[in-house]
């Protein structure tokens, strides 16, 4: 079938993205790693860079679980027992015992009655919001929510879509009050931790506000939280933004197995009937293969580590390294945002400066992610550093030395 007209149109669109500064371009290819040694954390090899070792400061693996020997051994053992893939969606081929065991463990960890696994946290959000939206539902969303929430709301087509200013509880209340006049159900949806800035939602206030307005809606005002960056990285025991704000439980809590837990997949925890309803109505669950049984076993092992004295030690070290890096940025005169999360933004306020700093750090063997306009608003350009429990004091200091050597006109 001829596609020359299509490819011409696609090429034009790519050119348009490039001119707008939205083209992501070639991805770095990680082709190996060097284990921690001599006071340094792990280093990574990048295709095209020979044997030059890189310090990764752009990974969501906040606890370093993907490299832990116990987690790797659990996955390898499960591959021997169950093979490398699930073979079918769960309602057709049946499910595997590691999936069921992991769902029970996740529910217990979050102190909820039930849990449901999806192929990713993105699929989880896309799979649970539309089935919960009716033609008399208002969805009320923070303006800085993740792309998966934005797309899930668009797919759901609620009766009313309301966006409130970032963390503005006054506007959230006004949106709830207005929605109560025309809708039977309200869904407040927010990130637990916002991935671009590392700040977190005041879940204690959001959930209290929802409870206040519960009686104004015939089918309640419910709260959905995507805490993919929070679970395993925030809170005294790694239970995320809920623990950090000492909030009541969200009605639906979404998180990922692919960040702090180091594996792959997403999940939600809630009341038993809600989870049962999602198993029967969510296309992202019904018609998509689950994660592999081996991934489920590895995630179970990672969760067991997190929920143990070893996990508390990892969290303590993560907090220490985060504080060390944030204080170092301030001492060097860089602008950052206060916070406890291991996402530490360095605000450059300029796209050209952002790109120059990313290139400078790469030349000095530090991998980071730059966020420029229009990915972020003009004036909010930044380097997003992500600290990991894999990092050592020497790693943090090496990154700070590289930053200190930056000269904007070099």
Query: From first to last of its 410 residues, what are the pLDDT tens digits of the chain?
Result: 567 899 999 999 999 988 877 778 788 999 999 999 999 999 999 999 999 999 999 999 999 999 999 999 999 999 999 999 998 999 888 889 999 999 999 999 999 999 999 999 999 999 999 999 999 999 999 999 999 999 999 999 999 999 999 999 999 999 999 999 999 999 999 999 999 888 999 999 999 999 999 999 999 999 999 999 999 999 999 999 999 999 999 999 999 999 999 999 999 999 999 999 999 999 999 999 999 999 999 999 999 999 999 999 999 999 999 999 999 999 999 999 999 999 999 999 998 899 999 999 999 999 999 988 877 888 889 999 999 999 999 999 999 999 999 977 65
Nearest Cα residue to 216 out of 271, 167, 177:
177
Cβ-contact 406, 399 below 8 angstroms: no
* Active-site residue (options: 59, 119, 195, 388): 195
The C-alpha angle 275, 276, 279, rounded to 5 degrees, equals 90
What whole-number distance in Å separates Cα of residue 325 and Cα of residue 401? 11
Lookup result for tokens 């490819």: 7
Nearest Cα residue to 188 out of 196, 198, 177, 199:
177
What whole-number distance in Å separates Cα of residue 240 and Cα of residue 35? 28
User: Catalytic site residue 327?
Assistant: no
User: Catalytic site residue 259?
Assistant: yes
The pTM (predicted TM-score) of the whole model is 0.94
Positive or negative CA dihedral for 331, 333, 339, 342?
Answer: negative
* Active-site residue (options: 99, 259, 300, 391): 259
Q: How far is CA 400 from CA 57, 110, 326, 367, 397, in A?
A: 12, 36, 10, 13, 5
Cα dihedral value 65, 71, 73, 74, nearest 10: -160
Cβ-contact 25, 6 below 8 angstroms: no
User: Catalytic site residue 300?
Assistant: no
């Amino acid at each position: 079938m001829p596609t020359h007209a299509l490819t011409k149109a696609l090429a034009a669109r790519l050119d348009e993205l490039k001119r707008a500064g939205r083209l992501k371009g070639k991805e770095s290819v990680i082709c190996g790693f060097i284990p921690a040694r001599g006071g340094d954390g792990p280093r990574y090899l990048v295709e095209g860079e020979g044997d030059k070792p890189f310090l990764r400061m752009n990974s969501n693996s906040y606890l370093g679980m993907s490299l832990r020997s116990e987690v790797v051994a659990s996955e390898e053992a499960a591959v021997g027992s169950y093979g490398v893939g699930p073979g079918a969606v769960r309602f057709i081929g049946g499910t595997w015992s590691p999936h069921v065991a992991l769902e029970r463990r996740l529910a217990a960890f979050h102190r909820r009655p039930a849990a449901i696994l999806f192929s990713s946290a993105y699929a989880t959000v896309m799979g649970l919001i539309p089935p919960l939206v009716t033609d008399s539902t208002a969805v009320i969303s923070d303006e800085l929510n993740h792309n998966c929430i934005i797309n899930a709301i668009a797919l759901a087509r609620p009766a009313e879509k309301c966006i409130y200013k970032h963390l503005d509880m006054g506007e959230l209340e006004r949106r709830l009050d207005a929605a109560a006049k025309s809708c039977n159900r309200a869904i407040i949806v927010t990130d637990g931790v916002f991935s671009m800035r590392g700040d977190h939602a005041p879940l204690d206030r959001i959930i209290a506000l929802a409870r206040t307005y519960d009686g104004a809606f015939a089918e309640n005002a419910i709260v959905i939280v995507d805490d993919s960056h929070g679970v395993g990285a925030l809170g005294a025991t790694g239970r995320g933004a809920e623990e950090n704000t000492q909030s009541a439980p969200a009605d639906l809590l979404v998180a990922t197995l692919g960040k702090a837990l180091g594996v792959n997949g997403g999940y939600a925890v809630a009341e038993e009937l809600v989870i049962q309803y999602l198993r029967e109505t969510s296309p992202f669950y019904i018609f998509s293969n689950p994660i592999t049984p081996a991934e489920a076993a590895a995630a179970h092992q990672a969760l067991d580590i997190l929920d143990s004295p070893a996990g508390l030690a990892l969290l303590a070290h993560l907090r220490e390294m985060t504080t060390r890096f944030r204080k170092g940025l301030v001492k060097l005169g860089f602008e950052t945002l206060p916070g406890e999360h291991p996402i530490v933004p360095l605000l450059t306020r300029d796209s050209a400066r952002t790109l120059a700093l990313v290139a400078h750090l790469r030349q000095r063997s530090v991998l980071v992610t730059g966020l420029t306009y229009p990915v972020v608003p003009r004036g909010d350009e930044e380097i997003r550093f992500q600290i990991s429990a894999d990092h050592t004091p020497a790693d943090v200091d090496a990154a700070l030395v590289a930053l200190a050597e930056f000269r904007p006109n070099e």
